[in-house]
Amino acid sequence: MNIHYLDNSATTQVCQEAADAAYRMMRENYGNPSSLHKVGIQAETAVEEARGIIADALNVQPKTIYFTSGGTEANNTALFGAAQALRRRGDRVIVSAVEHSSVYESAKRLGELGFDVQFAPVTDRGVVDIDALKALLTDKTILVSIMTVNNETGAVQPIEQIAKLVHKNCPEALFHSDAVQAFGKLPVKPKKWGVDLMSVSAHKIHGAKGCGALYIRDGARILPLLYGGEQQKKLRPGTESAPLIAAFATAVGFLNLSQNADHIRELNRCALEKLQALEGVTINSPTDALPYIINISVNGIRSETMLHHLEENGVYVSSSSACAKGKRSYVLEAMGLSDDRIDSSLRISFSRYNTTEDIDALIEGLQSGIATLQRK
């Protein structure tokens, strides 16, 4: 059976070039980047070259890039590090109601630690309500975190506008954005946008799992989550995973934003046209969502039921964020969707390796499922 993988927001297939880069580092350039001898210095050079490639992709200086184990660690470092560093100035932390769980759960934990945590509401399009956010900003606000692109619906947030609003009303606060679903898919420019902290990850762009990065604006102060050695200015100590870092940089080097964007837009157009022609299918993503993601509901059929039906036909999608492991989507709840639509929602997500054949297989699977599966 052919595999039609349409769950690229959960993870992507590692590109051959990135896999080769990791293998070379593991087998040939295997030194510890902190070692002072030649083998260690060679590994350190590779890590620093990779840092430069990631920095160039974000249009920032290499010294502002800190490698992590992935987006979750980057988000945790940003939230806990900023909140703890700025606690003497205030206690209010604001995140949107539709953040990835690594931000959402971190914010809840900060609330348990005594911070005044507020969840900014979103519109029915899944975009932050700017007026409501503005009303939450006070002189006690020390941190605001709003994701660049939502991982379930593809909704794109007006990050530059929000950054200006935050810095105008709360000049002492830090503004963080989780750009894991945006990086490599649209131009991401934290410094230009006024973002102080930004998280990115490798495995969403055909790099390897277990590697990400946190951009920290030069001059912004946060405290570390981990304590140990001298690596990465002691902000993220521990031996750098040079193979995964090299793979990350290689994946970035093989991105072609404009070419990929044209391909994905055409896949999105084709998919939407065919999905909208199916009776009982509702599109949950906003019309101006990132074209890499389409969230739908198949009315009357539970997400898990349809997901496994599609799987039996070689089509792989998800029912929500992969990190949720099947739990009900609080993102769709925040958008005001009905229980029936939430319980029957599916996320379809593309990569540059997808083709119209994958879409045809998806449509055929949905059609057969609608015709044969038991309604809830």
Q: Are 220 and 173 in contact (CB under 8 A)?
A: no
3-class secondary-structure state, position 23 = helix
Q: Are 130 and 79 in contact (CB under 8 A)?
A: no
CA 27/CA 101 separation, integer angstroms: 36
15 included as an active-site residue: no
186-198 in b/e form (b: 16+ CB < 10 A) is: bebbbbebbbbbb
Choosing from 15, 170, 211, 323, the catalytic residue is 323
Q: Where are the beta strands (DSSP E) in the chain?
A: 4-5, 65-68, 92-96, 116-120, 141-145, 174-178, 197-201, 212-216, 281-283, 293-298, 315-316, 345-349
232-255 in b/e form (b: 16+ CB < 10 A) is: beebbbeebbbbbbbbbbbbbeeb
Q: Are 211 and 251 in contact (CB under 8 A)?
A: no
CA 307/CA 312 separation, integer angstroms: 9
Burial classification of residue 130, based on how many CB atoms lie within 10 Å of its CB (0-12 exposed, 13-18 middle, 19 or more buried): middle
Q: Which amino acids are annotated catalytic?
A: 323
